[in-house]
Structure 1
Amino acid sequence: MFFVLSKTIGFILMPTNFLIGLGLVGAILLLTRFASLGRKLVVTAVLLLVVCGLSPLGNLLLYSLESRFPRWDPARGAPDGIIVLGASIEADISAAHGTPVVRSAPDRIIAAAALAHRYPNARVVFSGGSANLLSNDAREADFAGEVFEGLGIAKSRLIMERRSRNTLENAEFSKALVAPKPGERWLLVTSAYHMPRSVGLFRKAGFPVEAYPVDWRVAGRDGLFTFSNLALEGLWRSDTGMREWMGLIAYRATGKIDELLPGPVPN
């Protein structure tokens, strides 16, 4: 039930979807005796779409997430395992064409493969099923192995977790699959903006991990107040930042994480 609610409510409340819906409602009202209200809704929707698409709003939403965890320090020594979260491979499209199709966040897979080469004794876990509310039986993990093998990682080192539909299940199913022992060190590879929520959920699941953020979307403080040249890019950043913050709020409100904005644990 939580998965269905998170997908439906999340879809409705994404800034782009919400504002398009607001504009459509306004357009319909233009044909009724509430035409004045309709005009206000249309104008409001257009103006807010411009703000979300061209202003630094998306940068502001993402920067506070991306700056939460520093880059991983290799001085601590070799890890025992590497967990890379999905959301890079389009499972349904991959199934349709019979080959892996990587469309977003490729840094997750590339960084994990580079780490696997650097630390040849570390186990590699790819955690990703299907995040779609309606989908066929295709799962990201069904195609990730081929990508990793193409990057030179032996199949014998790969552990594929194909059941998870969201980050909560990434944490729970990965822990059940690898049964980490006390004292083992596991790296968690995911997008920098997604790291706070991910680390919070892994901690709650009793699986301590070390953050290995990748796939930054904001150029630090210097890029914080830059305007977007393309509205689609700005809308993506606004939608992504809002989705992460809504996820953090929802998980904290339901007790699935212990902090609103999880951060590094002091040594």
Structure 2
Amino acid sequence: MLLALGLTALVGWLPLPDAVLRNLENRHPAPMAVVAGQLQAYTGVVVLGGSKERLKAAVTLLRQHPHLRLLFTGGDGKWWASGPTEADEAEAFFKRMGVPADRVLYERASRTTYENAVLGAAVPGVDITQPWLLVTSARHMPRALAVFRAVGWNIAPSPMDYRSVGFSRWTDYSLARGAVRWQLVLHEWMGLAAYSVAARLSLRA
């Protein structure tokens, strides 16, 4: 009983999940050249998933840097799904925003980060030896960057969608908000652990 109460108290005490999430999000900041908007050295941008923030950021990059191409990789994360993929929805969004069709490549079958990297590399017109930027949420970047580089991509991080902006006060408490933040952290920790185990098993095979 006391243990359950203690765990509940920790879940809702916001400084703790915020600190853990901040550590996860700050592992791979964007290179200084990217921060300064100097992207001449990069061939294109890889965008993972269909959040509106990532799509809007991709449109901004394409407008500011006419030489860049974009690879959007994302199927449907539900194994049983048969509806529109994330790539289908992204394509419709880019059309509405007036992005020229010849500047965007799509990969529509992936359901995991590993499949994003592998299937994205197989898209005609993609050369993974050329320098690319990886756009995904900051909390997802450690896992995504490790997977893409393991597959052989020459890729640099361009994280966004930070959730740990600012610092919580020591007195901040919210069971609902704390649970959401712990869910984000645990999802990424489990993903990192799974890919780490898979990599070790493949090395032993």
TM-score (norm 2): 0.84
Structure 1 distance, partners of 2:97, 2:200, is 35
Alignment of 1:1-267 (within 5 A): 40=1, 44-45=3-4, 47-72=6-31, 73-74=33-34, 75=38, 77-88=40-51, 106-177=52-123, 178-180=125-127, 182=129, 184-219=130-165, 223=167, 230-255=174-199
Superposition deviation, residue 255 in structure 1: 0.6
> Do the aligned partners of residues 166 and 45 (structure 1) sit closer, same or farther apart at CA in structure 2, a change above 3 Å counting?
farther
Separation (CA, whole Å) in 1 of partners of 2:9 and 2:132: 42
Distance 1:82 1:76, change over 3 A: closer
Q: Describe the SS at the equivalent of 1:124.
A: strand
Shift of the 228–145 alpha-carbon distance from structure 1 to 2, 3 Å rule, reads farther
The residue type paired with residue 113 of structure 1 is V
CA contact (8 A) 1:79 1:119 kept: no
Q: Which deviations, in whole Å up to 9, do the C-alpha atoms of 1:137-179 show, x marking residues without a partner?
A: 3311111111122223112211111100010100101111143
Structure 1 residues not aligned, in runs of 5+: 1-39, 89-105, 259-267
% same residue: 34
Structure of greater Rg: 1
Q: Structure 2, unaligned stretches of length 5 or more? A: none
Structure ranking higher in helix proportion: 1
* Greater RCO, 1 or 2 (C-alpha within 8 Å, sep 6+): 2
User: What is the number of residues matched between the two proteins?
Assistant: 197
1:44 and 1:68 mapped to 2: Cα distance?
32
Residue pair 1:251, 1:257 contacting (<8 A) in 2 also? no
Q: CA deviation at 1:181?
A: 5.5
Could you tell me how far 1:112 is from its partner in structure 2? 1.2
Give the RMSD, CA atoms, in angstroms.
Answer: 2.5
Q: Aligned equivalents of 1:181 and 1:248: distance in 2? A: 22
Letter in structure 1 aligned against 2:181: R
Distance 1:87 1:142, change over 3 A: closer
The Cα offsets for residues 51-98 of structure 1, whole Å up to 9 and x where unpaired, read as 22343232122111111112342336242111100052xxxxxxxxxx
Decide whether the 8 Å contact of 2:46 with 2:73 is kept in 1. yes
- Structure 2 CA distance for partners of 1:179 and 1:76, relative to 1, 3 Å: closer
